[in-house]
Amino acid sequence: MNTAKIAYRPVGLALGAASGLAAGMVFKQAWKLMGHQDDAPDAMDESRSWREILIAAAIQGAVFAAVKAAVDRAGATGVRRLTGTWPA
């Protein structure tokens, strides 16, 4: 394992946590912009329909995956610029 990979591990963990927080904020704003209530439905919310719960879950998953991929890619690109090697 090279130095760049070892050095990137804590950075990758921190970026992963930050991307989760960012994805949550992006999803909340997207949910509001789509004209829904302030909070996305919880799977155990009896007053919400199956359709609304499943749509919210699908959108949340897509937003999370896109934000995580963007943050991971940006972090790896930054490491390559600094060290000259790809961290993965």
Question: Which token pair is 67?
Answer: 């934000």
Say how far apart CA 83 and CA 77 lie, in whole Å: 10
Residue 65: the pLDDT is 93
Say how far apart CA 65 and CA 55 lie, in whole Å: 15
Residue 4: the pLDDT is 67
Q: Is the pLDDT of residue 87 over 70?
A: yes
Is the full-model pTM beyond 0.85?
no
Half-sphere exposure in the Cβ direction for 39 (13 Å, CA)? 5
Residue 47 per-residue DSSP state: T
Residue 62: the pLDDT is 94
pLDDT per residue as tens digits for the range 6-59: 777 888 888 889 899 999 998 988 888 887 677 888 899 898 899 989 998 999
Q: Is the pLDDT of residue 88 over 80?
A: no
Residue whose token pair is 């921190």: 14
Q: Which of 13, 26, 30, 8 is nearest to 64 (CA)?
A: 26
